[in-house]
Amino acid sequence: MDCIFCKIIKGEIPSYKIYEDEKTYAFLDIACDSFGHTLVIPKKHCQNALDCDDEYLQATITTVKKIAKHYVENCGFDGVNIFNASGESAQQTVFHLHFHIIPRKKEDGVDIWPLKEKYDLDLKDVCDKLKLN
């Protein structure tokens, strides 16, 4: 399978490893768009959060939390943004599940929130259409 993140796990493509355990791998994003932008991935291939098996998804989230706490407790950051894109319409570009961690400091000038526009929504209607139970 021609997956760049599987190749990173196998060491076929170099990466700056932040953390690794039996089921997960964390490394710096190549984009260099903020200090410490980190990706956390499961070692078993899946496309995104929608098809990942629960065991690996849970392990990946646990690693996200571990690294986020490390950044805040040991690396001088005040908080983190954690996000995931699942699906092309969600702007996913690499189809091996990954969570982004963006370490944040107060007044660092980073603006991670892409949605600025407000819509005239009837939240009851939205809820009726989306609720699961």
Q: Which of 112, 94, 121 is closest to 39 using CA atoms?
A: 94
Structure-token pair, residue 57: 């998804």
Question: Can residue 25 be called a binding residue for Zn ion (CB under 5 A)?
Answer: no
Residues 4/39, Cβ–Cβ less than 8 Å: no
Which residue type occupies 89?
S
**Within 13 Å and on the Cβ side, how many CA atoms surround 97?**
24
Question: Can residue 30 be called a binding residue for ligand 5GP (CB under 6 A)?
Answer: yes
Size of the site for ligand 5GP (CB under 6 A): 13
Question: Can residue 46 be called a binding residue for ligand 5GP (CB under 6 A)?
Answer: no
> Which residues are 17's β-sheet partners?
27
Return the residue of 37, 44, 45, 66 that touches Zn ion, per CB under 5 A. Answer: 45
Return the residue of 11, 12, 74, 93 that touches ligand 5GP, per CB under 6 A. Answer: 93
70 is catalytic: no
Q: Please identify, using beta-carbon distances, which residue of 74 and 91 lies nearer to ligand 5GP.
A: 91
CB of 94 to ligand 5GP, least distance (A): 4
Residues 41/29, Cβ–Cβ less than 8 Å: no
Binding site for Zn ion (CB under 5 A): 3, 5-6, 45, 96
Catalytic residues: 98
